[in-house]
Structure 1
Amino acid sequence: METGRLVRWNGSKGFGFIQPDKGGKDVFIHISTLKHMARKPIVGDKIEYVVEQQADGKVKAGKALIVGVAINPTHKSRHNSGKNHQAKQRPPIKMKKATTASGTMSRIVIILIVIAIGRFAIQAYYDVTNAPGQSSLVQPVTIDNSPTQSTKSSPQFSCEAGKTHCSHMRSCEEAIFYINHCPDTQMDGDFDGVPCERQFCN
């Protein structure tokens, strides 16, 4: 697997870009590849991923995980229960014999396990973010000149009714502002985070 740093993330649309540690172009990543993680990704996360080639020739992150973040226990239990469904089935008669006390005890044990996993995940996250040398890895992210950040420093743009296509835009900066801040835009057909590539942002 390859590693990189998440330098851009659009939470409302569920995608972002990874800057590979080995250098080269940023790699597209979708939220669906990280749905098994205990939390959603944030800018600055270290990502391990497998590169996949898309039909249009661009690359994206296939199987991926956030370094230092635990796997969602709910996701793992659903995955395992699907495989071992027949082996874990109990005859209805045996289920009726379970007492109220044993059922309550089982729920308490499950709750304690979930709490322990959650504490482990939080501790692992803080250990990674507070590790020596970690701040030097995160610093490049704070000065990243990505399109998303440039729009935050461009107060001259505002969402106007009816402006949803590239033909309505006057510049690449305005198009980027609209896809990040305005609803119902139709300017990013390939969902790579870069709008109006044929008109402005190529």
Structure 2
Amino acid sequence: MFQEGRIKSYITERGFGFISIQGESKDLFFHIKDFPNQSVEPKIGENLKFRIVEDNGKLKADQIVRLDLKQNIAALEAHPQQSSYRNKSTSPRFNERSPKGSIFKIVGLIIIAILAVMVYYKYQDYRQVQQLKAQQLMQQQAQIVEQQRKALGDLPDRVLSEQGQRHLDNTSSQLSRVEVINGAANTQAQVTTAQFSCDGREHCSQMYSYEEAVFFIKNCPNTKMDGDHDGIPCEDQFGRH
């Protein structure tokens, strides 16, 4: 026959406790292994239904039914949608207006903004480096063309023999290649000049190349880059003495 009682004490570390039964002066022993649901720890004051059996000469509770736990499960089964809604509405993780959620959102936006600024400045630095490299390459090409012109312009006049004729033919071929290089350099200079425009800059410190400075003093008003008026701007900055 089943009886009812209430948990009076429970020792978690040892897994047993005692049940007080109304009308009985002696408490009844129970062990956690006799509970149907051992994952939920017994609580003091919890109502139980059980049978009293003898084990090794001592009485204990057996076939334990957890009345309070059974009632809670029945209530959840009767109103599953209401219970689910209550858990979601009261849970902090679903509360979009909680202070923690707002803080995380603000911190995330700040981090995204910082990363965007860093990427922008990195891109600007990259563009400046590429522009400087292009200007240096054009200057080097101009110097090479000038050196080749000087070397080929110093050829002596002499009577052409058969060997001299071959030498002249080779020289003509070299001159043709120089003209091609010179034409490419002029084309590049025209393209570069087309990229310049009068935008209000007046000083040498604002120039990125000698060609740009020459363009400004020839085409833009109020420039202050040719103090001696010799047509060579920014001599010290670009080594044009």
Give TM-score, length-normalised by structure 2. Answer: 0.29
Bigger fraction of residues in helix:
2
Give TM-score, length-normalised by structure 1. Answer: 0.34
